[in-house]
Structure 1
Amino acid sequence: MAADDAITVAVIDDHPVVLAGVEHWYSTADPPIEVVASGATAETAWTRPGDSAAVVVLDLQLSGSRLAYDDLRCLVDAGRQVIVYTMRDDERTALTCLDIGAFTYLTKAEGEDHLVAATVAAARDLPYTPPALAGAFGANTATERPRLSVREEEVLIEWFQCESKELVAERLGITPRTVNTYLDRVRIKYASVGREARTKAKLVARAIQDGLIQVDDL
């Protein structure tokens, strides 16, 4: 999207005061951020057929104690950019959300500045790592090989075997923007375990080392 385009957001939270507060933060943001839908269930994100919000802000704990992992998975599978925005601050939950495919993970204690910045980054396909998520990466006990989600592996392998990201998007039924998001997320995960892979060639090397793909498959 162009830098001066309005960013559209769907906000999902079952606390009216949180919805009101987030909408107020967005109303004063620069660049402009427009809340096109808000409500207490994940169905909120699909209230405008054909005009989906660019970003979905999802409270992880809706209507009781159940964590909304299934809702997150459905949104991610539909190619949505999801910011998990929650009271939970434990590393295990944060890493689980990233494994499912969340764009980023924010605790509500991190407040307005981080939520607005993360929303802009999500809309523009730029990686964003807030303090809580940086802490989760640091606490990840997995060594050497990062934990990639099934969808991240799928996008990565398709990219190795295709001439362009546009072709990957066509094959998988997602947008080129979503392809970029998954690849950025994979790079962040490799960097978090000390194995940076900034180029396609480096990612190919990492994937071969980790057994995700064979040389003969390329």
Structure 2
Amino acid sequence: MNIPAHAPLHLLHTATVGTLATHARQPEGFPYPSVLPFAPDARHRPTILVSRLAEHTHNLHTDPRAGFLAVDAPDGDVLGGQRVTLLGRFEPVGSSPELARRYLRYHPDAERYLMLGDFTFWIMEVERLRYIGGFGAMGWLDGAELDPLPPLAVSEEDALIAEFGRRLSGAGGVELLGVDRYGADLKRNGVRHRFAFDGARSDTGTLHAALEVCIERHAD
């Protein structure tokens, strides 16, 4: 196994869409792949918003086991790009204001789906994952190895977004979507970017210092 530090985690914050593979009910047992947008939660797990009428929703209610593939190949070279396959179980979660607010930062167009009242959030509990980052950079990890640190509290992330998001917007027109202990998710001109810190930030002081560097890099 030769996986660059935190590479699978950063990839889950870079990709905007993923491929969800559920177990088909009819014909029974076949993989049923579907492409849909997702957002990482505070623990970097894929969060999806799906209609109760969708085929993959019915499949998950019958069998929550699923595979989820995220890919980053900006030049179109899929085999030379990064990809991570997650194996685990999706569970439906209630649409709390905090969850909806975070998801809509990543996918603001989804607000119209929430207004329909037919869509539900599901979050994947990752059990195993396989990362491939190019020739020789690949391997398996247990889900718990993705991030051993406790996630930021919602209130802490909200405070960081309020403070540094305002400064980023004023400095370079960049929108701050999310912050975690390993990086910040940004959007400029409709395109998402991942600003990876040079190491894990375990306390408020080091998080502030890393975000100051982020502002310096994006203030042009």
Give TM-score, length-normalised by structure 2: 0.27
Q: Which one has the bigger strand percentage?
A: 2
Query: TM (normalized to structure 1)?
Result: 0.27
Bigger relative contact order (CA 8 A; separation at least 6): 2
The structure with the largest helix share of the pair is 1
